[in-house]
Structure 1
Amino acid sequence: MKNAFNAEGAPEPVGLYPHARKVGNLLFLSGVGPRKKGTKEIPGVELDEAGHIVSYDMEAQCRSVFNNVKLILEASGSKWENLVDVTVFLTNMKDDFAAYNRLYAEYFKDNQPCRTTVEVTALPTPIAIELKCVATIE
């Protein structure tokens, strides 16, 4: 696909879409979660036998999702500092926003893209956070 990118180290998409697509000097990332590549493992998540969330560690998920975004940016010819817009989907704003916001401030202290954070009922896999990002690309 023309101007589409898939990052070697990032988790596989859960549908028919690329990790990112370049349009002009912008890079649009598909939704990125905290899963590990090549497995169904989600850092900080404990599932029961039916695949339902028993417990999760929001900090571990945040760190993993930020790492996955970084991998995709770099594999696509961009970098963390080029992020200009981030949309964050949380499944539990009430309990998770403080931890997420603290870690976001840690990761984005030198680059402060525009940000929107919304609560959603569920995400396609048993995760608590997903990011949708736009970055510039040289």
Structure 2
Amino acid sequence: MPFEAINPPGFPTPIAPYSAGAKAGGTVYVSGVLALGEGGAVLNPGNVRLQTRHVLETIRTTLAAAGATLEDVAMNHVFLKYLGDYAAFNEVYAEYFPGAKPARYCIVADLVKPDCLIEIASVAHLP
């Protein structure tokens, strides 16, 4: 069974050959999301809280285009540029997942754009 590419209307063109998400069976996979605007411009450089909020709103929109919500997220893959941003990231993250918390991991790593501080990829299961 082929998967369905998910590319919400109005989203910036990806900076590489991928879709914003993919739906296969009852699972939605959201590609790694960075705080990027049109043309790949980094939004809110130096502010992990605002970048995290933008990333999670982008994930919310991608999930909605596939018929899912943040409550359907079972796993988040988190990449932080700086370990020192971990507490600030968690403050914002907790706002978006107030109930049952999805599984996740968090890795400190360089990201594809030097001014990006956070990247998150998600896996959700459709109700």
Return the TM-score normalized by structure 2: 0.89
Within-5 A mapping of 1:118-129: 118-120=107-109, 122-125=110-113, 126-129=115-118
CA change 1:15–1:108 in 2 (3 A) is: same
SS at match of 2:76: strand
> 1:6 touches 1:20 (CA, 8 Å); kept in 2?
yes
Runs of 4+ in structure 1 over 6 Å off = none
Q: CA RMSD in A?
A: 1.6
Matched pairs, number: 125
Letter in 2 for 1:78: A
> Counterpart in 2 of 1:71?
61
Query: 1: distance between equivalents of 2:5 and 2:119?
Result: 20
Q: Which has the larger radius of gyration?
A: 1
Q: How far did residue 2 of structure 1 move?
A: 4.6
Q: CA deviation at 1:105?
A: 1.4
1:24 partnered with 2:14: no
1:40 offset after TM fit, Å?
A: 3.5
Q: TM-score, normalised by structure 1?
A: 0.82
Unaligned runs of 5+ in 1: 46-55
Residue 110 of structure 1: CA displacement? 1.9
Q: Does 1:91 align with 2:81?
A: yes
| Among candidates 76, 90, 107, match of residue 101 of structure 1 | 90
Give the counterpart letter for 2:75 in structure 1.
Answer: D
Gaps of 5+ in 2: none
The percent of aligned pairs where both chains have the same amino acid is 30
